[in-house]
Every structure is written in C-alpha cells, then in structure tokens.
C-alpha cells in the first residue's frame, strides 16, 4: 500500500472496485481525515478519460450541500488519478435496507434528503447518473439519520460531450428507460433511479427484476411499475402509491419535474392525514414545447428529451462488462405497446390514488395530471408551538420536517432554533441558520415572526459570556485545579469551542500529553480541529507555539 497520495498520508484501505481503490487518508497540515478515491490511468476507458475526470471533478467540487459528500481536492499522482473527499464513517443505504432497522417513515426522510442533494446538483448542471443504494452513505446520530450522496464518478455536467457515445454508465437495475434507449441522461433520469431505490427500500424488493441483465432492461422499458402490496403499505399514507407511480413513469415528462417536487411529495406522504392528492406537480410540456423549451422550470437542469418514444427501445440487447461500464447497442424494435398490467381495485387500505389507478386502466398512456386543489395551509406558529411540548428528540425531528415542508416560513425555523438551543445542539443550529439563509430568511425575520427566539438568543449570549468568564478565571488559578475544573466544564458544554480550547491549554501547561492527545482526537471526531479551536480562542495558538510547552 502506498504511504502517500498527493499531499495526503494514507492510513488504510477502505475498499476497492474494478477501476480503483478507496483509501482513508489524512491531510496532516490541517489534521483532517479524507476518503481518497483512486483510479488507475491504465484502467480507464477512452483517450479522453483524463479530461472527463478533471472536468467532472471540478464540477462536483463546486457542490456544497449537507446531503452531498464534499470533494476537497483532486489530481494525478504517478499512474493514479485521485479524488480527496469528505470521510463519512457509517454504512451505505444498501446495508441499511438489509438490516431492516429503519422504519418506512425514516426511509422516506432519507429519500427526501437525497432529493435535496440532487436538487442542489441539478441546479448547477451536474447529473449523477449512478444513483443507487451503495452510492448513498448513511450516518446515524441521536437526532436521526442523514443521507449523503457519494461517487459522482460517473456524473457528468449537462451538455458535456465527454461521455463516449453508446456507453451506458450506472447500475442496470436503476437505469431510466431513456438512458437505456439513447445513453443520454437528464436530471429526470436521476429521479427515476431514486424512485427505483425508494420502491426497493419501502417494499424490500426491486420494481423491475429478471434472470438476466437483458431481462431487467426489457422490464424497465416495457413493464409498468408495480404497486406496493397491502403488507408493504403498512404505516404508510396510501398517497405514496401515486407518488411512486409518477416517479417511475416511462416518459420523463410524466415524472416529477424536479428533485425538489419529488422530495416535497415524499415528506407529505409522512403525514397521516394527507389527502394524497396535493402533490407538487408542474404541468407537463407538449411535444412541441419540449423541443423548443429544454428547461422545464427556472433553476433546474433538463436536457432535451429524445424525440423518439421510449417504446422505440431495443429487445435484443448486447451488454459487455468493461470495468463496471455497460455498453449497449440497439438491434431490433420492441413491440409498440407495453404488456398490460393487472387490473387494480380502487378500494381497500392499500388502494392507489387517481394517478396510479389511471396507469392501471390506461395501458401506455401518460400519468394524468392531478387537478390543482386549494389546500388551506396550516398555522405554522401554532403547529410549532404544539411541538415544543413534545420530548426534545421527537420535537427536533418533526420541526426539521416542518422547515422542509414549509421552507418559506420564518416561524418554523425560529421555533426549531429554540429547541436546538435549549438542547445545546449548536452544530445543527448553524446548519439550520444556513438553510434558512438559502431560502432568503434572515435571523431578524425569524425574531419578528416569533419574538421568543430573541429572548432565547439573549439568554444564550449572556450564558455563553458567563461560561467563558468562568473558564478564564480558572485559567488564572492553580494549573492542577484548572485541569479538573475545565475538564468538567468541557464535558458539560461539549459545543463550547472556547471552553474546549481552554481545556487543551491546561493540558499543555500541565504536560498531560496523553490526555491532550485523547482530547484532541475526540474533538476532531466531533468536527473541532485545532485550527478551528485556535480561531475560536486565539490564546490556544500562542500556547501551542511555545517550544517549551507545545506538543
């Protein structure tokens, strides 16, 4: 195993595939651990592979979102191309599916988070092209689960011509029909892949199966998406049937128009009283409009849909596996009509909503648009105040959902911040403030919408100053006693960066190197590197710079 890759020290191997290996590494200059994905230059396909790698690395490196793994650096080292990215300890979504430990509602939340990440990428012209469970990392904390999209290695930017014609990249079970037909993908292809993944997670089975690769592809092209059974529907709002049917539509124009719309629908399906009909959906464009209007809505990326119907796909499929890349050639025409699905009863606890029923009754016809309905929005302030009375863990989870369902409501963010502050979850406080800012909502707007937030912030400011004063008073006293006092304060206020810095100062001054190393490692694992702590409390930098005291 190599000792270094680029500027990174290699710690251990995390995994490997046909085209390269992933290592755990560390950037010693800032003490940050990274995952390093390497690709051997002699194993890549085509003379333009390097150009594609660097161009896509640049595009993906510009993505900055809590549900996308961050790319820090990329380059070439000897016979390797490499990407240095955020290291996420945890498991992939495939293992989450297999464990069976997550409820359907928790999985819906994860799928909605993936939609958030995809929306961010699509708005910046980046299409993933290989959405599947193994490319979603899941971390679990007392606050719940977080999904992060990884491996944009087969991603491409919209309008890029760097992908060789005729090469289909991605995992076969999750490929969209239009991608199979032409090798061209749009952001709607990513949404189809996510819908396959969502069906699999909720049902415990893939929607399109077969004994061979060709059989699976033929199912994707010709067989209408199945419905969830009554057993698979337990605990779910029946409206999820129509959501999945719309998301798995063969014709891209019949799907949700954006990841944002898909994610909002998934979140609404978590609400037991939801009517199953007020799904965000923009009207589909006519065939003529689609040819002249490649963007379905401002701010989202949609490449022009292939003018040929998905029914003009191939029945005889030649697939060659080359380093995990599928090569497809169309040879013969498939039948002009798909196999009719079985009749579906429109009654019973698992009955589909109108969109799914239309699919079952009208073979080959697009999902009909749901009529717009006037739905009276709830009183967000009253709803949030009711959640304040619930246990903190439940309140935080529900308020997080509330801000996602109603991202334009300052009072929702304000009440959520109050709960987080009272529970000293300051990392989440920063995330929520950034999320609100992304929707144009400032802290002042939150205070005006819910004045109690101003009171809580005032108390917090005084409390923080008081804690800092106590810590500095201890630093001026007996060093041995200061260690005991600041150790206890650091445990009581784990998110207080200045107190953590003071604690490290006492360990340096009393030469407790073992405890210093242990504390430093623990803080680093929680996202508080020495560099961050030095900025939060500059005296730490001064103490560490002293040759007689620094470690």
| Backbone torsions φ then ψ of 389, nearest 5 degrees | -85, -10
**For range 314-340, the mean pLDDT:** 35
Distance (Å, rounded) from C-alpha 415 to C-alpha 67? 23
Q: Which of 204-213, 334-343, 370-379, 452-461 has the highest mean pLDDT?
A: 204-213
Is the pLDDT assigned to residue 369 strictly greater than 60?
Answer: no
Least confident of 68-82, 420-434, 447-461, 491-505: 420-434
Least confident of 33-42, 360-369, 531-540: 360-369
Distance (Å, rounded) from C-alpha 176 to C-alpha 221? 8
**Predicted local distance difference test score (pLDDT) of residue 313:** 39
pLDDT tier at 380 (50, 70, 90 boundaries)?
A: confident
**Predicted local distance difference test score (pLDDT) of residue 272:** 64
**Predicted local distance difference test score (pLDDT) of residue 344:** 33
Is the pLDDT assigned to residue 488 strictly greater than 50?
Answer: yes
**Predicted local distance difference test score (pLDDT) of residue 38:** 87
pLDDT one-digit tens code per residue, 39-55: 877 644 455 667 777 77
**Closest-CA residue to 477 (of 436, 446, 450, 506):** 506
**Sheet of strand 144-149, all strands in order from the earlier edge strand to the far edge:** 91-92, 136-141, 144-149
Indicate the CATH number for domain 4-86: 3.30.200.20
**For range 468-497, the mean pLDDT:** 85
Least confident of 146-155, 184-193, 298-307, 429-438: 298-307
**Predicted local distance difference test score (pLDDT) of residue 335:** 37
Distance (Å, rounded) from C-alpha 450 to C-alpha 97? 40
Q: Nearest 10 degrees: CA dihedral of 393, 395, 401, 404?
A: -110
Is the pLDDT assigned to residue 493 strictly greater than 80?
Answer: no
Q: Which residues have C-beta within 8 Å of that of residue 460, sequence separation ≥ 6?
A: 421
Least confident of 145-154, 287-296, 460-469, 499-508: 287-296
Least confident of 127-131, 261-265, 350-354, 480-484: 350-354
Distance (Å, rounded) from C-alpha 194 to C-alpha 192? 5
How do the domains of the chain map onto residue ranges?
Answer: 4-86, 91-152+164-276+306-361, 380-450, 469-545
Is the pLDDT assigned to residue 550 strictly greater than 50?
Answer: no
**Predicted local distance difference test score (pLDDT) of residue 311:** 32
Q: Which residues have C-beta within 8 Å of that of residue 183, sequence separation ≥ 6?
A: 163, 165, 166, 167, 168, 328
pLDDT tier at 491 (50, 70, 90 boundaries)?
A: confident
**Predicted local distance difference test score (pLDDT) of residue 185:** 86
Of 27, 73, 79, 130, the active-site residue reads 130
Mean pLDDT across the chain, nearest whole number?
Answer: 75
DSSP per residue over 468-501, as a string?
HHHHHHHHTS-HHHHHHHHHHHHHH-TT-HHHHH
Is the pLDDT assigned to residue 246 strictly greater than 80?
Answer: yes
**For range 10-25, the mean pLDDT:** 84
DSSP per residue over 162-190, as a string?
-SPTTEE-S-GGG--HHHHHHS---HHHH
Is the pLDDT assigned to residue 331 strictly greater than 50?
Answer: no
**For range 418-436, the mean pLDDT:** 79
**Predicted local distance difference test score (pLDDT) of residue 19:** 63
In this structure, what DSSP letter does residue 268 have? H
Secondary structure (3-state) at 528: coil
Q: 1 vs 413, which has greater pLDDT?
A: 413
Is the pLDDT assigned to residue 440 strictly greater than 70?
Answer: yes
Q: Which of 266-270, 374-378, 459-463 has the highest mean pLDDT?
A: 266-270
**Predicted local distance difference test score (pLDDT) of residue 463:** 58
**Predicted local distance difference test score (pLDDT) of residue 39:** 81
73 is catalytic: no
For residue 366, how far is the Cα from the chain centroid?
Answer: 29
Count of beta carbons in the 10 Å neighbourhood of residue 458: 10
Is the pLDDT assigned to residue 283 strictly greater than 90?
Answer: no
**Predicted local distance difference test score (pLDDT) of residue 372:** 40
The domain 91-152+164-276+306-361 belongs to what CATH superfamily? Transferase(Phosphotransferase) domain 1 (1.10.510.10)
């Amino acid at each position: 195993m190599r000792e270094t890759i680029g500027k990174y020290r290699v710690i251990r191997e995390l995994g490997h595939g046909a085209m390269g290996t992933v290592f755990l590494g560390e950037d010693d200059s800032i003490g940050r651990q990274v995952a390093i994905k390497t690709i051997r230059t002699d194993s890549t396909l085509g003379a333009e592979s390097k150009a594609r790698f660097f161009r896509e690395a640049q595009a993906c490196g510009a993505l900055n979102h809590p549900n996308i793994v961050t790319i820090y650096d990329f380059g070439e080292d000897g016979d390797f191309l490499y990407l240095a990215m955020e290291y996420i300890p945890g498991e992939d979504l495939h293992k989450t599916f297999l464990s069976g430990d997550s409820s359907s509602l928790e999985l819906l939340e994860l799928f909605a988070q993936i939609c958030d990440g995809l929306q961010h990428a699509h708005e910046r012209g980046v299409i993933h092209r290989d959405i599947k469970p193994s490319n979603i990392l899941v971390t679990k904390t007392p606050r719940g689960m977080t999904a992060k999209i990884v491996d944009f290695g087969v991603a491409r930017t919209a309008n890029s011509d760097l992908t060789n014609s005729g090469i289909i990249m991605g995992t076969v079970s999750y490929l969209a029909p239009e991608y199979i037909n032409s090798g061209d993908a749009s952001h709607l292809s990513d949404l189809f892949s996510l819908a396959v993944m969502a069906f699999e997670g909720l049902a415990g089975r893939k929607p399109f199966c077969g004994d061979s690769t060709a059989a699976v592809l033929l199912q994707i092209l010709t067989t209408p998406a199945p419905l969830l059974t009554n057993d698979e529907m337990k605990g779910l709002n029946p409206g999820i049937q129509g959501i999945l049917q719309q998301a798995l539509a063969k014709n891209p124009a019949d799907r949700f128009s954006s990841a944002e719309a898909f994610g909002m629908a998934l979140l609404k399906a978590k609400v037991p009283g939801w009517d199953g009909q007020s799904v965000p959906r923009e009207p589909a464009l006519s065939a003529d409009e689609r040819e002249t209007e490649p963007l379905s809505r401002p701010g989202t990326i949609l490449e022009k849909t292939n003018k040929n119907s998905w029914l003009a796909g191939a029945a005889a499929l030649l697939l060659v596996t080359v380093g995990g890349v599928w090569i497809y050639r169309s040879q013969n025409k498939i039948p002009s009509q798909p196999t009719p699905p079985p009749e579906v009863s429109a009654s019973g606890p698992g009955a589909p909503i109108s969109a799914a029923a239309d699919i079952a009754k009208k073979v080959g016809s697009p999902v009909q648009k749901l009529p717009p309905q006037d739905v009276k929005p709830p009183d967000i302030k009253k709803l949030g105040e009711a959640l304040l009375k619930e246990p903190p863990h439940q309140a935080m989870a529900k308020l997080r959902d509330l801000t996602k369902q109603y991202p334009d409501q300052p009072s929702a963010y304000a009440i959520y911040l109050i709960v987080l502050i009272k529970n000293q979850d300051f990392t989440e406080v920063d995330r929520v403030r950034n999320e609100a800012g992304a929707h144009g909502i400032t802290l002042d707007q939150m205070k005006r919408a819910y004045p109690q937030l101003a009171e809580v912030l005032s108390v917090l400011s005084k409390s923080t100053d008081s804690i800092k004063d106590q810590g500095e008073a201890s630093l001026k006293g007996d060093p041995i006693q200061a260690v005991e006092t600041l150790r206890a304060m650091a445990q009581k206020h784990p998110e207080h960066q200045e107190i953590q810095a003071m604690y490290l100062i006492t360990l340096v001054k009393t030469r407790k190197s073992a405890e210093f190393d242990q504390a430093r490692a623990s803080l680093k694992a929680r996202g508080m590197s020495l560099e961050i702590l030095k900025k939060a409390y500059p005296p730490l930098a001064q103490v560490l710079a002293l040759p007689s005291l620094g470690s």
